[in-house]
A and B are shown apart, each in its own frame.
Chain A
Amino acid sequence: MSPTLFAQVLDPAHRADPYPLYEALRRSPVSRQDDGTWVVSSHAAIARLLHDPRISSEDLPDPPLFRWTGHPIQDLLVRPIRSRIVARHRPFIFRDPPDHDLLRRHVMREFSPGRVRRMRRETEAITGALLDRLEGRAAFDLVEDVSYPLPVTVICDLLGVPREDEPRFQGWATQLATALEPNQRTDAANAARNEAAFTAISDYLRGLIRERRASPRDDMLSGLAAGRDGERMNDYDLVATAVLLLVAGHETTVNLITNGILTLLRFPEHAERLRREPEIAPRLIEELLRYEPPVHYRTRLALADIGLGDATIPEGAPVVLLLAAGNRDPARFRDPDRFDPDREDNRHLGFGGGLHYCVGAPLARIEAEVALTAIVRRLPRLRLLDDPPPYRPGASLRGPRRLRLAVEAPVGAAR
């Protein structure tokens, strides 16, 4: 075992193919790195820790308390108080029970089957419009033209953000997603940009929440703002939750769509099959979530000593759950490095597991299904212009920065 393995995972040089490193890590599936972080890489150990009450998600460092502005009321009163409020009202992905459960319950209630069905129709319309814009193009960047705009528009629709405000949302989403990227948290300049983006989006959302309280509509923000059965989130939590939905539902879905097309073009027989049998889309997407998951790892904190096999993760240790390594664990999946949409019993970790299991999973599945089937149908002959493509810096939310594709047959008419 080399203690520097996880450092290599973080190194952008390995972004295009981290899987050999994961295989090496799995040789000692609960291993301490030089910096005291524990990396967990087997399916069984990850699954166990996702359900372990000694594992906390409150591992987010407190926001920087304040930077000196020279204005005493600002520096000594306003900013510290605000920082404390922000720290207390973290998004629930960074919170533990009981608070986590209460907040999550509000969101779960809003993901009603009816709303999810409506979102499928919306997603189809949005995807159709995005693909229409490609008509006549000989080459395009999938990320910029489809994968990126689609999820923002969908989330804005879900929340009830007016279409005209979407460009602003897109900018905030991109910036704030870096807060979910553990190896970018320590970057002070980036933290400052996040703070500025958070202030801007909070102000915006607070205004929108006021409007929706005054005249509710059939959208999630109205539902969350109104609450149910006499329970209602406070405004801080409501803003944090809306931002979480935006961020968690955005970069992830971008990667799923981009990784999906990348994988289908690497294995064209599956693209062909999806074109002819669109009903295989759900299984194909589950396999994508296993084979090229958008979220490669999540971090936690050990609240007590945790014995796992021969290893004991000590109290207080930061823990990395390497979901993407668990997804390729030969002890759990036969022939794990093969992309096989016909795989039975595909219990991948692409959406995590346990109490933080992705609340947006039904929507994410719809987005991927709609996008991938529409793309292979309307663009039957695509060619990868760079393989591997360039990747974004994140090692956790891992995905191509660009995916340039040549169109070898024109975009078909809509539908």
Chain B
Amino acid sequence: MSVAAGSPPRRIVVVGASLCGLSAAQALREEGFSGEIVLVGDEPERPYDRPPLSKQVLRGRCGPDTTLPCRPDLDLRFRLGTAAAGLDPRARRVVLADGGTIAYDRVLIATGTRARPWPGDPGSGPLHTLRTRRDAERLGARLADRPRRVVVVGGGFIGCEAAASIRAMGLDVTQVVRETVPLVQALGDAVGAMVAEVARGAGVDLLTDRGIDGIEAAGGETAVVRLDEGRRIETGCVLVALGAVRNVEWLAGAGLAVSDAGVRVDAECRALTPDGRVVPDVFAAGDVAQWPSAVYGGARLAVEHWGNAVAQGRVAARNMAAAGGPLARHDHLPDFWSHLYGLTVKLVGVPDGADRFAVVQGTLRERRFVGIYGAGERTVAAVSVDSARWLPAYRAAIAEGAPFPPFTGALDQPGFAPHPLATA
């Protein structure tokens, strides 16, 4: 069991003022930490929530202000609009892009991810990404002009949610997906195929198995998207949704184990050196962290999930506030939700590496079901579409390392028929 270092910290610095950073700051106060808390963030806004940006905000159901609730009595110091440019664990300080430094007793790295840009995208004109409030405002303003056609590039969750929301506004949408079906990496071919059918049913021009040779600016807000099979789509708005890049560049030279998969931490959320030693007083959590999961036999997980950002931020906070005594472990079973075309999709567990899939309640055809993912002998994840009420039983089974299937004979079960799973 790991034990906290002896002396109580006086100043805790959180780099990245978003969901994870704010959750950690709140938890620090709940833990009774009465010292100084400084949140450094490169965005100008107070911490806000991102999931609505591709859902309610995009559809105009609510404004772009999704500021996260924050109790005023938490006594937090915000350094907003300021990026951190370096970390010096030996001197215990964060170096800021404006040249300043902030000394810390403990630091939390919560710099999350950013949208992967289209090569050469200047961040203006017809090309858009969707990660920040400013992205949402710029995209929203463009869509308000009702461009003749919107092209969404990418078949991940943000691409699919955005395509659904933009289509729901009555705009023509073409979604170009390199894989055979959307969401195939996240949820596999069977669920992906169902989503494809729903998207087409909603009138989205979904092009799968299709690459893009180039996107050419055609003056003003117009662009031409060139597909690999030669087709050209003229469009007034391109949303590039090619996944996320972890914000770790500022950590170069800090001596931490850092890669494309994020900052490596241990189960106690402490940052590690490349040879696996704990870096004193440096913690990381949220989208930027990669942690060993006890549920999956110590496999290293890196997820981009709201629930993990909150849970891991809270564990990091407990351990940062601790002065002596046992440390808390992040034993979180990841989960995720999405809203697509009026369907609620929920996932518990991590289907990476799964080779089998079976619908165990309901049916794909009715678009109301629970499906499970098997890897070897184990059930590693479960997905539900409009059936989330059943997930707790599967969550408990997955956490306990249940076999595949964890049980048979459940309500509304069409009979157990596993299929090989393709995720590409």
Binding site for B on A (CB under 8 A): 48, 51-56, 96-98, 303-306, 315, 354-355
9 nearest A-B residue pairs (beta carbon): A53-B410, A97-B412, A304-B409, A303-B409, A304-B407, A53-B390, A96-B411, A52-B393, A53-B411
User: Quick one: which of B368, B389, B411 contacts A303, CB cutoff 8 A?
Assistant: B411
Interface residues of B, dominant DSSP:
mixed
Which of B362, B370, B389, B393 is close to A54, meaning CB atoms less than 8 Å apart? B393
B174 to chain A, nearest CB (A): 31
Contacts of B409 on A, CB cut-off 8 Å?
54, 303-304, 315
Interface residues of B in 340-396 (CB under 8 A from A): 361-362, 366, 368, 370, 389-390, 392-393, 396
In the complex, per-residue mask of B274-311: 1 if CB is within 8 Å of any chain A CB, else 0:
00000000000000000000000000000000000000
User: How far does the Cβ of A181 sit from chain B's closest Cβ, in whole Å?
Assistant: 24
Cβ of B2 < 8 Å from any Cβ of A?
no
Q: Give the docked Cα–Cα distance between A52 and B361 (Å).
A: 12
Known: A51-B393, A53-B361. A98 touches B412 (CB 8 A): yes
Known A-B contacts A48-B392, A51-B389, A354-B389; the reply to A56 vs B407 at CB < 8 A is: no
A245 CA / B407 CA spacing, docked (Å)? 34
A53–B362 contact, CB under 8 A?
no
> Chain A's nearest CB lies how many Å from the CB of B411?
5
> Within the complex, what minimum Cβ distance (angstroms) separates B408 from chain A?
6
23 contacts between A and B (CB under 8 A): A48-B392, A48-B393, A48-B396, A51-B393, A52-B392, A52-B393, A53-B361, A53-B390, A53-B410, A53-B411, A55-B411, A97-B362, A97-B411, A98-B412, A303-B409, A303-B410, A303-B411, A304-B408, A304-B409, A304-B410, A305-B407, A315-B409, A355-B389
Residues of A within 8 A of B362 (CB): 97-98
Q: Which A-chain residue is minimally distant from B368 (CB atoms)?
A: A98
Report the Cα distance A354→B387, complex, angstroms: 12
Given that A51-B392, A98-B362, A355-B389 are known contacts, is A56 also in contact with B411, CB under 8 Å in the complex? yes
* Beta-carbon nearest neighbor of A50 in chain B: B389
A218 to B14, CA, bound (A): 60
Q: How far is the CA of A56 from the CA of B410 in the complex (A)?
A: 8
On chain B, the residues within 8 Å of A97 by CB distance are 361-362, 411-412
A315 → chain B, closest Cβ, in Å? Answer: 7
Minimum CB distance partner of A52 in chain B: B393
B residues lining the A interface (CB < 8 Å): 361-362, 366, 368, 370, 389-390, 392-393, 396, 407-412
Distance in angstroms between the alpha carbons of A54 and B393 in the assembled complex: 9
Neighbouring A residues of B366 by C-beta, 8 Å: 98
Closest residue of A by beta carbon distance from B397 = A307
Chain B residues, Cβ within 8 Å of A56: 411
Residue in chain A with minimal CB distance to B410: A53
Contacts of A53 in B (CB 8 A): 361, 370, 390, 393, 410-412
Chain A nearest CB from B111 CB (Å) reads 36
For residue B360, give the distance in angstroms from its CB to the closest CB of chain A: 8
In the complex formed, the residue of B with least CB distance to A57 is: B411
User: Which of B361, B362, B393, B396 gathers most chain A CB within 10 Å?
Assistant: B393
Q: How far is the CA of A55 from the CA of B413 in the complex (A)?
A: 12
Alpha-carbon distance A96/B413, docked complex (angstroms): 11
Closest residue of chain A to B396, judged by CB? A48
For B370, B396, B411, B412, which residue has the most chain A Cβ atoms within 10 angstroms?
B411
Query: Which residues of B are found within 8 Å of A48, using beta-carbon distances?
Result: 392-393, 396
The interface residues of chain A lying within 8 Å CB-to-CB of B410 are: 53-54, 303-304
Contacts of B370 in A (CB 8 A): 53
Cα A56 to Cα B368 with chains together (Å): 19
CB of B397, distance to nearest CB on chain A (Å): 9
CA of A53 to CA of B392, assembled, Å:
9
Q: How long is the Cα–Cα vector from A53 to B362 in the complex, in angstroms?
A: 11
Please indicate the chain A residues that have their CB under 8 angstroms from the CB of B361 in the complex.
53, 97
Please, which residues of chain A bring their CB within 8 A of the CB of B389?
A: 51, 354-355
Extra pairs beyond A54-B410, A55-B411, A96-B411 (7, CB < 8 Å) = A53-B410, A54-B393, A54-B409, A54-B411, A98-B368, A303-B409, A305-B407
**Across the two chains, which residue of chain A brings its CB closest to B363?**
A98
Contact B392 A54 (CB under 8 A): no
Chain B min CB distance to A382 (Å): 43
Contacts of A355 in B (CB 8 A): 389
Q: Which of chain B's residues has its CB closest to A58's CB?
A: B411
The answer for the CA separation of A98 and B366 in the assembled complex, in Å, is: 11
CA of A306 to CA of B393, assembled, Å: 10
A54 to chain B, nearest CB (A): 5
Q: Would you give the shortest CB distance from B413 to chain A, in whole angstroms?
A: 8
- Which A residues are CB-close (under 8 A) to B407? 54, 304-306
Question: Which residues of B have CB within 8 Å of A303?
Answer: 409-411
Q: Is the CB of A51 within 8 A of B412?
A: no
